[in-house]
A = this chain, B = another copy of it.
Amino acid sequence: MNGRPKTFDDHSIIEKAQRVFWKKGYASTSTDELLVAMGIGRGSFYLAFKDGKKELFLKTIRQFHNEGINKLKADINASDNAVEIVREFFNTIAKSKTDRHLNGCFIGNTLVEMASQDEDIREEAIAILKELEQVFYKAILTGQKSGQLKTKTDARLLARQLITIWNGLNVTRRMYPSHTILKSLIETQLQILI
């Protein structure tokens, strides 16, 4: 049986919460702030997310990741050059707006902030980054099989280097929030993909 209808849908309020969490991190974001950003009241929030802030956060990073990874996979599938899509993926860092640099990678931030604080959140962040690494891995394998990638380096190791470069760029971009600096840095780092 149906009761009073919801005035919101989970997907859109999670997206609104995401912007706040991404900018401020987990601990520094208050539930009050989240409620204002999501545009709902306390009653609705704790009904929709029984375990409160932590449940919302886990759903937020999951939704953020799913949409990003699905787009990346689709782009790769639609292309005949998987490695080139990976390159473009890295280049979005340099192309993003200047104020975005300070925010870094939402998942990397989460891993850094929560690694010693919350096992559940840490493991979720690790799993997400490993899924991204896995996409890199498959793209590299594809490139090596097609001959577009000449390097004989083990694809697993190359993928692990890529995720490390990704993590690093998302810290370094805060030091150098400059289009040109980041562009040349990314280009140089990606020379491992030869």
Chain A residues at the B interface, C-beta cutoff of 8 Å: 23-25, 27-28, 102-104, 108-109, 111-113, 115-117, 122, 126, 129-130, 153, 157, 160-161, 163-172, 174-176, 181, 184-185, 188-189
Chain B positions within 8 Å of A108 at CB level: 112, 171
Check if B122 sits within 8 Å of A174, measured CB to CB: yes
Name the residue of chain B whose CB is nearest to the CB of A99. B116
Which one of B27, B175, B184 contacts A25 once the chains associate, using CB atoms below 8 Å?
Answer: B27
Given A167-B167, A188-B161, A174 and B24 contact (CB-CB distance below 8 Å): no
Identical chains in the assembly: 2
Instruction: State whether A116 touches B103 (Cβ < 8 A).
Output: yes
- Contact call B104/A112, Cβ cutoff below 8 A: yes
**Cβ 8 A contact of A169, one of B115, B164, B189:** B164
Task: Among B23, B171, B176, B181, point to the contact of A112 (Cβ < 8 A).
Answer: B171
Cβ contact within 8 Å between B168 and A166: yes
Q: Which residues of B contact A168 (CB under 8 A)?
A: 164-169, 171
